[in-house]
């Protein structure tokens, strides 16, 4: 479902060229759940962005759903993401001017789906927000906002879900409930999950652990 070959990312800094990621090779099978762990600054979010085609590597190649992501231009990568990928971020990334329902409908409408409203209502009901569909993000708690974000990520039936510190802005209790929801939906849909987390208990729920240390992969097994 997802593969990276000798992936590297360098950026320029006042001190010279900085290697954020170096020589990462990884293969993820369909339906697998993988936790990406490591210290702050180890390159976890950078790896996620490269695997999802949100950023371009300095070296190496990425394949997503059988297509070489790194051979595509920005529009091509966006089209591939729209068909195959869902995202959940630490800071929710909801559109503030749209209601919960409209936020979840958005990817379906962009894809030209005529059943956007019905499908979005069904998924919001599954995440326990049937009574909050008309509320705007500012009217929702952090946990509710993240549930909207999870509904939006799952609504189009993605093959791969990328989650970057999805409980980072939530208290422990709310975060635990959000992860129960995320893993439950993921298991039910058979989605491939790539999860960046600093929380060992969350990482332990994934089938495999990928540990980064100063931009390099130090192991790829649990």
Q: What is the pLDDT of residues 65-109, one digit of tens each?
A: 889 999 999 999 988 988 899 999 888 899 999 999 999 999 999
Helix (H, G, I), strand (E, B) or coil at 130: helix
Q: Could you identify the residue written with the tokens 């509904």? A: 151
* Cα–Cα separations (whole angstroms), residue 39 to 99, 155, 205: 36, 32, 19
Q: Contact, 198 vs 37, CB < 8 A?
A: yes
Q: Is the pTM of this model over 0.85?
A: yes
Mean pLDDT of 176-188: 88
DSSP β-bridge partners for residue 85: 160
Distance in angstroms (rounded) separating the CA atoms of residues 131 and 152: 16
Render pLDDT for 153-163 as a digit per residue (tens, 0 to 9).
999 889 999 99
- Domain 31-39+73-219 -> CATH class: alpha beta
pLDDT reading at 187 higher than 90? no
3-state class (DSSP) for residue 11:
strand
pLDDT of residue 15: 84
Extract the tokens encoding 183. 């893993």
Q: Give the domain ranges of the chain.
A: 31-39+73-219
pLDDT tens figures, 128-137: 999 999 999 9
């Amino acid at each position: 479902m997802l593969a990276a070959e000798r992936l590297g990312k360098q950026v320029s800094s006042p001190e010279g060229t900085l290697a954020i990621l170096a020589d990462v090779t990884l293969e993820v099978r369909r339906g697998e759940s993988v936790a990406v762990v490591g210290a702050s600054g180890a390159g976890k979010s950078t790896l996620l962005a490269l695997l999802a085609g949100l950023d371009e590597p300095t070296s190496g190649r990425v394949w997503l759903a059988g297509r070489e992501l790194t051979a595509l231009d920005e529009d091509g990568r966006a089209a591939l993401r729209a068909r195959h990928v869902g995202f959940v971020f630490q800071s929710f990334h909801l559109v503030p001017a749209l209601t919960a329902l409209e936020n979840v409908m958005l990817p379906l409408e962009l894809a030209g789906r005529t059943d956007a409203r019905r499908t979005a209502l069904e998924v919001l009901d599954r995440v326990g927000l049937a009574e909050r569909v008309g509320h705007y993000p500012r009217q929702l708690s952090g946990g509710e906002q993240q549930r909207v974000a999870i509904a939006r990520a799952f609504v189009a039936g993605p093959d791969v879900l990328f989650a970057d510190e999805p409980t980072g802005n939530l208290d422990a209790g709310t975060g635990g409930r959000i992860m129960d929801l995320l893993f439950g939906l993921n298991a039910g849909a058979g989605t491939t999950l790539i999860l960046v987390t600093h929380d060992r208990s969350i990482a332990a729920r994934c089938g495999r652990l990928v540990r980064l240390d100063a931009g390099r992969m130090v192991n790829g097994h649990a």
